[in-house]
Amino acid sequence: MRHGFIWVAAALSLSLTGCALLQPNNDTPPPLSEPAFHARINELAQDVSTQCNPPGTVEQAQHERQVLTADVREVGSLLRHLRQDIQTLQARGGEPVIVREECETHDVLDTKTLLGRNEWVGLPGIGTYLKARVDSGANTSSLSAREITRFERDGEDWVRFKLALNDDDVAVEEKRNEWIEAPVERRVRVIQSTNDEGDSRPVISLLMTLGPIRENVEFTLNNRSHLSYPVLLGRRFLLDIALIDVAETYLHSRPEFPGGEPSEESAADEAVDQDDNEE
């Protein structure tokens, strides 16, 4: 009796479970009708087309194609006219004329200072003016010096010297016999016909003024008192900053220093110059 009751309960449980499984799910959407299905497909196709071809892309491409076509036609027209011009020139027996556009040129004096063959220079570190010969044939500039003495300062080579001037050389009087000291930049060897071994000369750097020019210039030190000009300006100074007009002299005023003569009184000193062939 007990076993029969158990079987009846099990059968009843399975019956109830089957009912639950066969009951439809209210969350499942109803099936689409044929018109709704086609409408949905058309909507998806429109979305895909919009994403692949953003608005304005086709119109922009068409505009660019029209512009390019117009440019190509214009170039073709120019080539046809050019060919006709060449044929016309050849028929006349002439050669095509090439017209070159001239480059913009600048006056060289806009960037360089014009100098005469002789000029006044100023040496602010020494405090005097001196006459200088401007010579592109010489490489290094030179300053007339005497009693050149080498010494060492803070482990570096220095020289002590005086200006080597004769009575005709124009300078600030009180600077003629003053000692001048400067570090040695380098040394150069000058070969002379009377000395096969050559002469080693110190090179120093001094601030120099000449008209609008204000530059540190390298000078070799050697006695030039037997020559007409205590200063020689060579190519290393002239490079990129100056040009020489050999027909002119003293194009720039004499600088002024304490103890010296006014610049407007330099004409008498300039008039006594002799046109020699110094090196």
DSSP string, 104-139: P---GGGTSEEEESEEEEEETTTTEEEEEEE-TT-S
- Among 247, 217, 243, smallest CA distance to 232 is for 217
Give the per-residue pLDDT at 3: 47
Q: What is the pLDDT of residue 32?
A: 62
Radius of gyration in angstroms for the set of CA atoms belonging to the chain, rounded to a whole number? 50
- pLDDT for position 80: 74
Contact 116, 244 (CB under 8 A): yes
The dotted CATH code for 109-266 is 2.40.70.10
Q: Provide the residue ranges of all domains of the chain, joining segments of one domain with +.
A: 109-266
Check: CB of residue 135 under 8 Å from CB of residue 118.
no
pLDDT value at residue 40: 76
Nearest to 149 by CA among 159, 141, 140: 159
Q: What is the mean pLDDT of each run of 10 residues along the chain (279 residues)?
A: 45 46 55 74 74 64 74 74 72 60 60 94 98 94 97 95 96 96 92 65 96 96 95 93 94 96 94 65
pLDDT at residue 59, as a whole number? 72
